[in-house]
Amino acid sequence: MNIKINEFNVVKLQSVFFTKNIKIGNKLDFAQQVTAATDNIFDGDPMILPIPETQENGPTGIPIMILKSSDNQFNCNISKNRIDFFFSKKKEYEKSIIELWPDYLKIIKDFSIFIKDRLNEKVWRLGFVATLIKDIGKSVNLLLNEKYLNTNIFEEPYEIQLNVLKKISLKDIKVNRWIKYRPLRKKDDISKDYWLSIEIDMNTFPEIIHDLNKEQINKFFESAYDNITSKIPEYILL
């Protein structure tokens, strides 16, 4: 069975901009700045969390504010050392990454302009995660067992998760690329593990400190998308 990447529907897309110490100041005003910079995509009510922002007291990685669109499909978590931008669907997974990408990329570019030009922040690391699913019409566990493990040791496994790490380069930036396979089951019939979930997680090496400009940031995400749509199908030969 050869499954093409455009046959998978998107559950979640996540883009991460790692910074050093974002100066937020007035939180509500900052939330409004982000919303304006991203073409008002975050038109829902912002969630401002009572977390100290100062370098001495503020916890790293914990959101200071959470922005969202009114339909809850787009979300943004802002902490003092990273910005996470999400597209996610809770149900009715109906679009492929190819269909969603042009609009999603535009918002990524809006973020890169805001972070570099408005905040004048150093972006030292980037990450991109795509979670895709497809109903393949038969047991994912048995398929992974037969195709990749090629052994009878695991007789009728209830769940197999297969994670593969490869170190690659995207436009001369060294990247860890994880591809993670796992089965999903419907809540109303857990006996059928027919949904194949594939998570592709690409992130720059944490030991390398970059100082990326807007063009490099955009190229990373464009190259990550190209890698998924042109290279990943080589691994989906089920």
Helices (H), 66-204: 97-113, 140-144
What is the pLDDT averaged over residues 199-217?
Answer: 96
The residue ranges of every structural domain in the chain are: 5-20+81-231
* Contact in structure between 126 and 17 (CB atoms under 8 Å): yes
Strands 9-18 and 82-88: antiparallel
Q: What is the pTM of this model?
A: 0.91
Closest CA to 14 of 95, 78, 76, 91: 76
* Contact in structure between 96 and 10 (CB atoms under 8 Å): yes
Res. 219: pLDDT tops 80: yes
Q: Which of 64-73, 188-197, 216-225 has the lowest mean pLDDT?
A: 188-197
Res. 148: pLDDT tops 70: yes
Instruction: Kindly tell me the sign of the dihedral angle through the C-alpha atoms of 41, 6, 181, 225.
Output: negative
Which pLDDT belongs to residue 238?
Answer: 46
Which pLDDT belongs to residue 5?
Answer: 81
Which pLDDT belongs to residue 196?
Answer: 92
Report the half-sphere exposure of 113 (CA within 13 A, side-chain side).
Answer: 12
Q: In what order do the strands lie in the sheet containing 65-68? A: 47-48, 65-68, 74-78, 82-88, 9-18, 125-135, 195-204, 173-184, 162-170
Cα–Cα separations (whole angstroms), residue 78 to 24, 27, 32: 9, 10, 13
pLDDT in tens, 93-143: 789 999 999 999 999 999 999 999 999 999 999 999 999 999 989 989 888
Residue 221: in which H helix or E strand, if any? helix 214-230
Helices (H), 78-213: 97-113, 140-144
Res. 56: pLDDT tops 60: no
Phi, psi of 134 (to 5 degrees): -155, 140
Report the alpha-carbon distance of residue 128 to residue 105 in Å, rounded.
12
Cα–Cα separations (whole angstroms), residue 161 to 102, 131, 226: 31, 14, 25
Count other Cβ atoms within 10 Å, centred on residue 174. 13
Which pLDDT belongs to residue 149?
Answer: 80
**Percent of residues, the chain, with pLDDT higher than 70:** 90
